């Protein structure tokens, strides 16, 4: 005789729940198979079967059984809640919300439904609604820890940090090893930049569950802020091993490798991030910028254009794309992009492009005179004025640095560190050891240049050199303190020194150029080739550059500046400079650097 009740007796249901709670899943599945034959229309049994498949991470089967359970019994709150949870977790938000509201009409004390509606609001960043729902859940059941933590997380997102901290502490005072509370309080401390406290909580949470991808990611963020970059890389690699599609993990790893000047490796991780999220314009921009760093301008343009298309109002994106079109010779289009980008340097960059275009100079000079009235601290505009004065006898009315040749400074490093100091040898040794990528430099012939910032690498020799350079900047300002040049009087208070090495072999040279992003530039010479002819391998300074329009009637010459091993040479970034080719077999190795103001 068939059983008329669609569900089995309570004692059988409790037996099944016991198997589930005690992780006796084989016994649970075997018993379920038996009971479903006897009770084929039991919504309760299919609901438990859905929970079993959820426990074994078979989400598809779990969803099928939750839906079947609901079709068999549309009025059981637990059945409705489980099916709604499945829909919510799989992105069917409106269907889930509809079911939670239906559930609350059946039982307005079902606090889990309020909590789940709060989760939906939280994920949609409707934090006021989320707070209301979590508070309703806690009014019914003040001890429901999920809602306590969810409310704390919502207060954290609204920067009500004290309220959030009180809620996390409530749980941790009761249970000092509560995993979710440790994890979320750690994130709160990270947001507040209380890194030591964040590290304590995250480490405790990691001991409980080292296989949580999000936890490893947050751990890496703390390590990055504490400048423990190698440990941060290890944490991110573990995060990706746990969850290969964890959002931003590959991106963050790419940034770390970029910081190590391993640009090709950084690009490989950025591209993995793009596979996960093709429309992440920040990552596309980083890929474009990375290709710039290794000199692949064609690829850089393709990625930068994608980034601009996704975020058309981003000034940095348009300006960086403009620079690449300028390098590629698309001067008029580059000028347009600089104008549209509207960065604080767009006018000087537009001028630069118009001058490079070598046509309609009347319009160019009109803009040059107009912009120079507004801006008197641009190395780039200063270099244009110097060129126009030298080549076309046009008056130089720009007060930034009218006589850059008078502001060249040289000192030998042995005068600073002593003749017995091994710093030069240490620098050469570390250059050979470093794993940085190389830049494909359009101006450099028979040589190679390092990518990234050499001073960001973990070598003591570079740290020592950086301190010497910073001290020499101070000495430089003292020596030229009587100069009325804005280059000296308006010296930036904040900025960063960026450096790179340049190795040249026989026939090596660097064409004339100036450093657009610098304020003051310099070079330290670590190895110099023997001179077969006068001035071979020397640095050459000039007030003109062949990239701009030249007067063929004028026989303009640069000024060869004598240098030897150990020399540090400093000069205004607006000054054109290059290298005279050499023909000996010895290498020429130097470290070049710029002081880049923070506002550039």
Give Rg (Cα) of the chain.
33
pLDDT, residue 397, reads 86
Q: What ranges do the domains of the chain cover?
A: 294-405, 407-547+555-597
Strands 444-450 and 438-439: what pairing? Answer: antiparallel
| Of 257, 258, 216, residue with least CA distance to 237 | 216
CA 164, 169, 170, 171 dihedral sign is positive
Query: Average of pLDDT values for 407-418?
Result: 95
Nearest to 434 by CA among 496, 497, 498, 501: 501
- List the end-to-end C-alpha distance of the chain, in Å, as a whole number: 86
What is d(CA 78, CA 45) in angstroms, rounded to the nearest whole number? Answer: 12
Whole-number pLDDT of residue 202: 97
Listed in sequence order, the residues at least 6 apart from 125 whose beta carbon sits closer than 8 Å to its beta carbon are: 157
The whole-number average pLDDT for the span 403-417 is 95
Q: Which of 25-34, 234-243, 545-554 has the highest mean pLDDT?
A: 234-243
CATH classification (class only), 294-405: mainly alpha
Contact 253, 237 (CB under 8 A): yes
Q: What angle separates helix 161-174 from helix 145-157, to the nearest 10 degrees? A: 150
- Look at phi and psi of residue 159 and say left if phi exceeds 0, alpha if psi is from -120 to 50, else beta: left
The arithmetic mean of pLDDT across residues 474-486, rounded, is: 96
> What pLDDT is stored for residue 470 in this prediction?
97
Using the Cα atoms of residue 517, residue 523, residue 514 and residue 254 in order, give the sign of their dihedral.
negative
Q: Which fold has domain 407-547+555-597?
A: Jelly Rolls (2.60.120)
Taking the C-alpha atoms of residue 36 and residue 45, their distance in angstroms, rounded to an integer, is 7
Q: Give Cα separations from 394 to 88, 398, 411 (angstroms).
A: 70, 11, 34
Over residues 572-578, the mean pLDDT reads: 96
User: How many residues are given for the chain?
Assistant: 600
- Residue 130: the pLDDT is 97
pLDDT of residue 1: 41
Mean of the per-residue pLDDT values for the chain?
92
Residue 475 token pair = 């000495």
Q: Which of 11-20, 61-70, 435-444 has the lowest mean pLDDT?
A: 435-444
Helix axes 315-327, 297-310, angle to 10 degrees: 150
264/281 Cα distance (integer angstroms):
19
Identify the weakest region by mean pLDDT among 202-211, 278-287, 508-517: 508-517
pLDDT, residue 223, reads 97
Mean pLDDT of 427-433: 94
pLDDT tens, residue by residue, 453-465: 999 888 999 999 9
């Amino acid at each position: 005789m068939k059983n008329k009740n669609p569900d089995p007796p309570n004692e059988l249901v409790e037996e099944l729940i016991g198997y589930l709670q005690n992780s006796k899943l084989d016994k649970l599945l075997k018993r379920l198979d038996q009971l479903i034959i006897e009770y084929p229309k039991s919504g309760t049994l299919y609901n438990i079967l859905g929970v079993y498949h959820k426990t074994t991470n078979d989400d598809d089967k779990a969803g099928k059984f939750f839906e079947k359970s609901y079709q068999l019994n549309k009025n059981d709150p637990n059945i409705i809640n489980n099916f709604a949870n499945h829909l919510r977790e799989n992105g069917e938000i409106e269907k889930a919300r509809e079911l939670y509201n239906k559930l609350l009409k059946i039982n307005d004390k079902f606090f889990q439904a309020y909590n789940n509606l709060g989760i939906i609001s939280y994920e949609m960043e409707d934090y006021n609604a989320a707070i209301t729902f979590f508070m309703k859940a806690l009014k019914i059941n003040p001890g429901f820890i999920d809602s306590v933590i969810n409310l704390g997380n919502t207060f954290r997102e609204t920067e009500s940090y004290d309220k959030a901290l009180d809620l996390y502490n409530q749980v941790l005072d009761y249970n000092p090893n509560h995993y979710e509370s440790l994890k979320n309080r750690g994130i709160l401390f990270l947001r507040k930049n209380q890194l030591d406290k964040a590290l304590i909580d995250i480490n405790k949470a990691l001991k409980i569950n080292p296989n949580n991808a999000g936890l490893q990611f947050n751990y890496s963020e703390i390590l990055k802020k504490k400048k423990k970059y190698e440990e941060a890389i290890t944490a991110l690699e573990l995060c990706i091993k746990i969850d290969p599609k964890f959002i931003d993990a590959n991106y963050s790893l790419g940034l770390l490798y970029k910081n190590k000047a391993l640009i090709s490796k950084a690009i490989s991780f950025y591209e993995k991030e793009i596979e996960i999220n093709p429309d992440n314009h920040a990552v596309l921009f980083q890929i474009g910028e990375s290709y710039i760093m290794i000199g692949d301008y064609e690829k850089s343009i393709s990625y930068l254009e994608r980034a601009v298309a996704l975020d058309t109002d981003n000034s940095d994106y348009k300006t960086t794309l403009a620079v690449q079109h300028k390098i590629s010779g698309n001067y008029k289009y580059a000028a347009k992009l600089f104008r549209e980008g509207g960065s604080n340097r767009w006018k000087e960059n537009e001028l630069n492009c118009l001058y490079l275009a070598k046509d309609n100079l009347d319009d160019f000079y009109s803009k040059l005179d107009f912009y120079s009235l507004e801006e008197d601290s641009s190395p780039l505009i200063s270099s244009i004025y110097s060129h126009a004065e030298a080549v076309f006898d046009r008056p130089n009315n720009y007060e930034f640095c009218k006589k850059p040749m008078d502001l060249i400074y040289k000192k030998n490093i042995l005068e600073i560190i002593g003749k017995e100091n091994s710093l030069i040898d240490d620098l050469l040794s570390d250059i050979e050891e470093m794993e940085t990528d190389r830049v494909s430099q359009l101006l450099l012939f028979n040589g190679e240049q390092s990518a990234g910032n050499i001073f960001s690498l973990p070598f003591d020799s570079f740290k020592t050199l950086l301190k010497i350079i910073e001290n020499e900047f101070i000495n430089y300002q003292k020596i030229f303190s009587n100069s009325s040049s804005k280059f000296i009087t308006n010296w930036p208070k904040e900025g960063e020194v960026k450096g790179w090495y340049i190795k040249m072999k026989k026939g090596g040279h660097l064409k004339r150029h100036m450093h657009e992003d610098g304020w003051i530039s310099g070079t330290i010479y670590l190895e110099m080739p023997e001179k077969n002819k006068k001035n071979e391998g020397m640095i050459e300074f000039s007030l003109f550059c062949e990239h701009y329009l030249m007067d063929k009637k004028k026989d303009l010459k640069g000024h060869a500046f004598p240098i030897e091993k150990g020399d540090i040479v400093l000069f205004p970034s607006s000054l054109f400079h290059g290298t005279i080719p050499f023909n000996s077999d010895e290498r020429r190795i130097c470290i070049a650097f710029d002081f880049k103001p923070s506002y550039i």
